[in-house]
Amino acid sequence: MKNEMILRKMIGYIDTILLYTKDVNYEGFIENKMMVEACVFNLSQIGELVNKLEQNYVLANPGIPWFKIRGLRNRIVHDYEGVNLKLIWQIISKDLRILRKQLQGLING
């Protein structure tokens, strides 16, 4: 149950990012500092939630890039000024929908 609640929170952050960036291209994204900061914050929250999952649950679901998600969070938190916006945009525009589907699949069993 704890893990499911965490997955639902992660999906909530993903949905928020996708809502913020709906109908936005890369140029529009990087020109909107508030959008960038909001999306980067939500990505860091997703990474923080990975830390709250039970370790055996993470290891039992190796198809999810848990360690990359956690690594992105660490990069954001410890080197915010050095965050690569092209990488952030790629994650938002391509990877988040895939991750959302994977997380929903875990919830649905």
Q: What is the mean pLDDT of residues 47-76?
A: 96
Q: Which two tokens stand for residue 77?
A: 């938190």
The pLDDT value recorded for residue 85 is: 95
pLDDT of res. 88: 97
The H or E element spanning position 51 is helix 33-52
Within 13 Å of residue 105, how many CA atoms lie on the same side as its CB? Answer: 9
- CA pair distance 49, 42, nearest whole angstrom: 11
Residues in the chain: 109
* Tokens linked to 2: 């704890």
Distance CA(16)–CA(5), nearest Å, equals: 17
Residue type, 55: Q
Q: Please tell me the predicted confidence (pLDDT) of residue 80.
A: 61
Total-model pTM:
0.94
Specify the pLDDT at position 4.
Answer: 98
